[in-house]
Chain A
């Protein structure tokens, strides 16, 4: 379970921003008073246009960034006071995730298992399960640099799941992937849900939202425009399609 309460993140203006608006020295509010609850066995979709604050939110939950204020609890652990423990409970997969080109899939997965302190017997069992499920075995000893994008993404999934995390965060995981490879990710998300894991999923693709979401939230300029169940969202739609409804809600807030 992930519980986010009154979460704020501000950044100092960078050189470019100061150049564009020299009089405005106030910090940029990337996330402003965000509240979310992602429950086990459900997929929570986080939507929003570019620059809405989705990646910053996910990075704070994954303890990569420290919140300016507010609280984050992951699997009952406070993310700001016990970041290490939180990281041991989560799996984090992004669309921009790359792998070590000079290592083999076997070595990459073992490396992350070692970092997560997975016991040898558990590692063997998880490794065999994931490699067989994702069809990695045939290229397990080949260097990642020689693998196709699809093969690499499968290895990324295995790397994310090797320690059997309770909470999985997907940040635009299908960006730049072909349909077949993207399907693997969606299958994985479904399988995580059926295993009772908490899934937080950020995407731009409305088709994926309709396929997977149990709960959803829309962010714009660091704030929530909507938060609730997918069914409630559909019931309250004033536009014919999900995509148009998303645009309508964002424009409403922007106005």
Chain B
């Protein structure tokens, strides 16, 4: 045990002096996450505000109908009306991004409405993500107009508005605030966690195995009385510590990112703070521990097989896809933690994190996640120790 500690201390010191590790462990999660969250939320909120306040350009082809709709539009200071605009001109304006919506009323629109029939109006718009808010505003104008026509029609017939609403649906979402938040950020949080945990383990694993082999220091270390298992455990300890630390720092980075978003509703912020309690954080990190051991075992195995630092990088970099895919599946709606998904590595941690955040996790499923993760972590360490024992692997290329 003493030898393992000696190796662990040295490897940790060496790793913490490596600029690449420091960048991936501290700078990226602690600086880049808050910065990106801050910038993206600022841009997003300012775009929303801009889209809401922007003067909409609306083209009309009324065919001498719907005067009331036109008047309604003209009263709105955030709407500019282009009267009697031909469809071809409207299309050209859509192309040039100088028109937000175009309404073409059928020649018999007023007559149909007056005879209690349905008047036809075609609404043209350009559906893109950037113009969603403007399109929504234009649709809302038409809905307001339709509501006013309906109300007038019912009044003329001396009928109550409830006649058209035989059923009034009152939707009550019984999900707790935590569950609602879990739906929104529950998938994203473990996704981020797992990726950072992997990235935090990656550089030390490459440096401590392939790097040491390439630099020729591994051969010297192997001539010391330390056994291969002690050397491996010392290295594994450092890789696990950096992986967990990176994930924890990413959590701090996310917290800093969230609190700086001033536009966030206070109740949402309060719920996020409720989630970030010591108990939840400890539970999340404890879930990450076996996963980080699994990462360490796999990464060190791949790294020790490589002849050089560069070769290890080229072997390990594509492996991030193997991590991203199950973590990404955890983001998908409808996928939840059950006795089957609890056995799938990475996905189980992602879904269990979601369940912890929403406070819906059951002890049995959590135990299944821990157990399956620990078994896999053990297997990865076993595989790594077998590879580390292999003479041809250790002295490959030397």
Contact = CB atoms under 8 A, between A and B. Distances in A.
The size bracket of the interface on B is 20 to 34
A229 B261 CA distance: 82
Given A98-B216, A102-B18, A107 B391 contact: no
B18 A99 contact: no
Contacts of B6: 111, 114-115
Contacts of A59: 395
A116 B224 contact: yes
Contacts of A62: 223
Interface size class of chain A, counting residues whose CB lies under 8 Å from the partner chain: 20 to 34
Interface in B29-55: none
Given A97-B219, A98-B215, A117 B225 contact: yes
B89 interface: no
A11 B216 contact: no
A139 interface: no
B222 A64 contact: yes
B217 interface: yes
A99 B215 CA distance: 8
Interface string B6-41: 110010011001100000000000000000000000
A56 B226 CA distance: 21
B144 interface: no
A112 B13 contact: no
A62 B220 CA distance: 10
Interface string B195-229: 00000000000000000000111011111111100
Nearest to B10: A111
Contact of A100 (B217, B225, B226, B392): B217
A114 B224 CA distance: 10
A112 B6 CA distance: 9
A253 interface: no
Interface in B112-138: none
Interface string A45-80: 000000000000001001111100000000000000
A248 interface: no
Given A85-B225, A94-B219, A103-B14, 15 more contacts: A64-B219, A64-B395, A65-B395, A66-B391, A96-B219, A100-B217, A101-B215, A102-B13, A102-B14, A103-B17, A107-B13, A111-B6, A115-B224, A115-B225, A159-B220
Interface of A: 11-12, 59, 62-66, 84-85, 87-88, 90, 92, 94, 96-103, 107, 111-112, 114-117, 159
